[in-house]
Amino acid sequence: MQIDSNGWISDAERIPSPNFDQRAGGIDILVIHNISLPPDEFGGDGVQRLFTNTLDRNEHPYYRTIPEGRVSSHFYIRRDGHLIQFVSVLDRAWHAGLSLWQGRERCNDFSIGVELEGCDSLPFTDAQYKVLQDLTTALRKAFQIKGIAGHSDIAPGRKTDPGPCFDWRRYLVALSA
């Protein structure tokens, strides 16, 4: 995977989100999330439509429970390993919300967000781990990323993702290989 001068990954499908702004500083951390819309259902386009402000809230009862607001992430990795990029890594995506990492608030300011199509109760796929590993390696080559955290690590008590089914050991061992 290569990152071009505009902050886009060569191997990713681009679906630009309007939900971003400029970064004020550098990138220190990679934040891993999970998401599925509707919850625990995979393969639909709900996440893409949420991140592009085109989600029809009348399409599914759960969609009406999602708070109004604009959210995005830099990346989304589908169950089959398909990689989608919504926001340039040079810009700030709106994925972390209220957050704190090593005494620093507003993690969106200095993080890259990666959403895995998933939930807290089901394992992630081999394809997802492979793409996440490749993406992390590419991002580490391009930026001085000092940490990798789950959404639950930067927003404890408020968020649970990537959840107990995310195999941190498998992911971190693969990165060090």
Among all residues, which ones are annotated catalytic?
A: 115
**C-alpha 63: how far from chain center:** 19
Q: Which residues of 166-176 are buried (b: 16+ CB within 10 A; e: fewer)?
A: beeeebeebee
Token pair in block for residue 15: 């679906």
Cβ-based neighbours of 140, under 8 Å, separated by 6 or more: none
The two beta strands, 111-117 and 75-77, are parallel
Q: 114 near 51, Cβ under 8 Å?
A: no
Token pair in block for residue 99: 């957050």
Q: 116 near 77, Cβ under 8 Å?
A: yes
